[in-house]
Amino acid sequence: MRPTLAIRSLLFSFILLALSHSAAAQVGIGISVNFGPPALPVYEQPICPADGYIWTPGYWAYDDDDGYYWVPGTWVEAPQVGFLWTPGYWGWGGNAFLFHEGYWGPQVGFYGGINYGFGYGGVGYEGGRWEGGHFSYNTYVNRVNTTIIHNTYRTTVTNISETHVSYNGGNGGVEARPTPQQESYANEHHAGPVAAQVQHVQAARSNPELRASANQGKPPIAATAKAGDFKTGVVASRQAGGEYKAPPANAARGSETRPANEARPATDNRPNTAEAPRTNSHASELQPHQFTPPNTGNAATDKKYQQQQDNLTAKQTQDHQKLQQQQEKEHQQAATNNYNDAQKQQMEQRHTQQTQQIEQKHTSQQKQLEQRQAPRQTAPRPPAEKPH
């Protein structure tokens, strides 16, 4: 069963507690019940596909229906010159694990002290740096074809930890806390995952082989050369990062608030005869709209239409993140000012209304774009009249 309503007030309180101890601008709140993700698998890095791509490490994501699933590490083109990737991470929030969304920014912030490898040793990033408008790769930790990419250097990197623990805090988790400087990085100008990363997560979620229950912590697709491409330049896991432990049989499932990149509509414990769709009450529960890939028969037109879809997806993702940060700020204010139950209820009702309004707006945008991209059909000519 999913005790959604019964735990609303409890989740509200410990989520606020978790927010007060982490970089608020990075947090995408998500509840994965009371068991942590599997260990990080051991795998090789695919070769960098082109200049300007930055490595984003793989991680375990969570889905209510299928449990933990692996999002392969991949190379992603930076959204703008000077931006680096701060990976997302799982952290213990007192009663459940929370997922802290990754982001792009001028500095690498706190990512739980998790040793993701390939330059992400737990603190900062030692895989490369921006120099004169070009990204320079540290070939000690990155696989780069130096006959094609010449902006490279080689500096020895020593891993902080040899473990493959994939979460912060809790029983057996990494013991690390953000420094004031790392927290300040999260408050700088930054951007959330780009459209290619969002699509990459969606592709991973829909692949049954990437579920931990199926691969026992050793995903067959551990990393890819480009986001969303699970066929070209794919690398399999060498081994699991540790002994796989299946979740307890009586583990609760479902959540009231979820990571922005893991949001998925769900149903509560309702009769099977007439299940109604769940109403999203927070921006963190929203997920990007699914577009049908263009197939007009014209490659140039398909490319143009795909770019339009990607641009709209990226804009809507920014809208989600902006509203989510606003709502999280109000949650913090509610905790600081000791809101009473009536004030909390008013705030939650306002958040539900805001969330439904932005979802209606995005649905309308999607329909309008699909109508503009729909093949134009010529109305049939009326049959010629027969001479009398």
Burial of 65 (0-12, 13-18, 19+ CB in 10 A): exposed
In the block, residue with structure tokens 């473990």: 163
Which tokens hold the place of 61?
Answer: 């994501």
Query: Quick one: pLDDT at residue 305?
Result: 84
Nearest to 23 by CA among 182, 234, 145: 182
pTM above 0.85, yes or no: no
pLDDT at residue 52 in the model: 92
Q: Which residues of the chain have pLDDT under 50?
A: 1-33, 252-278, 377-379
* pLDDT score, position 151: 94
Long-range contacts (CB closer than 8 Å, 24 or more residues apart) made by 326-332: 327/282, 327/283, 327/284, 327/351, 327/354, 328/19, 328/24, 328/27, 328/29, 328/284, 329/24, 331/12, 331/15, 331/16, 331/19, 332/16, 332/19, 332/20, 332/24
Cα–Cα distance measured from residue 33 to residue 46, given in angstroms and rounded to the nearest whole number: 33
Residue 258: the pLDDT is 40
Distance CA 154, CA 137 (A): 8
Residue burial 147-166, b: 16+ Cβ < 10 Å; e: rest: eebebbeeeeeeeeeeebbb
What distance in Å separates the CA atoms of residue 209 and residue 278, rounded to the nearest whole number?
Answer: 27
Question: Where are the domains positioned within the chain?
Answer: 8-245+254-267+279-290
C-alpha separations of 46 from 120, 155, 347 in Å: 16, 20, 47
By the 8 A CB rule, do 330 and 339 touch? no
- Residue 277 has a pLDDT of 43
Residues in the chain: 388
pLDDT reported for residue 74:
97
